[in-house]
Amino acid sequence: MNDVMTPSQRADALEDKMMQDLENAIAVRSRLFLLAEADFAMPNGVKLQQEHPGAKMLMSDDPRLPKMPAKPTLIDFFKLRFAPPMHLLQSARHAKVAGMPEHVVLACLLHDIAVLGFIRSDHGYWGAQMVEPYVTEEVTWAIRAHQALRFYPDESFGYAYPDNYKAYFGEDYKPEPHIERAYKEAREHKWYGTARMICVHDLYSFDPDVHVELEEFTDIIGRNFRQPEEGLGFDSSPSAHMWRTLRQPTKYL
């Protein structure tokens, strides 16, 4: 007997588990989630309701997730939606101990939030878009630019190509043309040094024995992150929808 489940079978098993947990609400996974499993299916509301008579499509909070405040802050997302952020916390402390200005420390704290909360692919671009309405233009640009810069060493800043990238991607890995183009453009930009500092303080090998509390950066966040009064996701900014999606990731529409 073959005990190895296909992506479709795993998805079905997870769907059943979700329904048991949700009782009379049907939560669906996004198309992107399914593609990550090489599953080209598309959740069909009619079919799901036929399989679960009496259940409605989930259009509110997912009860399996921690309850978010009515007006969530960046710190709420760190604590209630992001994956464990120790990498970001260690990177930010590394920058802080090195005497970097607060906007650089904040950039280090936020540079991988797309990975921790949203998506891994092109995370520099996604992360920059998420925070753009709430931080300075320089911080936004630096977060976006680090996506390309991390693949290219710069000895003048003390940045070498990470050893674990060689293991992750292979010794012969060559970044895609759009990344190389972005790197060349960034080299000529007035904020190149800010983005490069993200790479310098981006800890590519993490220390499991070092624990950093988010509260260490509360004041820096307060002074450098423009928290909307309505709460992240409800301020009508160009990226508010991204924060709402993180808040309710299994909402049907």
pLDDT digits (tens, 9 = 90+) for 147-159: 999 999 999 999 9
Mean pLDDT of the 225-241 span: 97
Query: pLDDT grade, residue 61 (50/70/90)?
Result: very high
- Return all residues near 80 (Cβ < 8 A) that are at least 6 apart: 65, 66, 67, 68, 72
Q: How much is the pLDDT for 48?
A: 82
205 or 164, higher pLDDT: 164
Q: How much is the pLDDT for 24?
A: 82
72 in Cβ contact with 231 (< 8 Å): yes
Query: pLDDT grade, residue 42 (50/70/90)?
Result: confident
pTM for this predicted structure: 0.88
**DSSP bridge pairs for 252:** none
Torsions phi, psi for 66 (to 5 deg):
-60, 140
Q: How much is the pLDDT for 39?
A: 85
57 in Cβ contact with 28 (< 8 Å): yes
Q: How much is the pLDDT for 1?
A: 42
Q: How much is the pLDDT for 53?
A: 86
Could you give the C-alpha distances from 175 to 148, 159, 182, in angstroms and in order?
8, 17, 11
Tokens describing residue 15: 């769907």
90 in Cβ contact with 210 (< 8 Å): yes
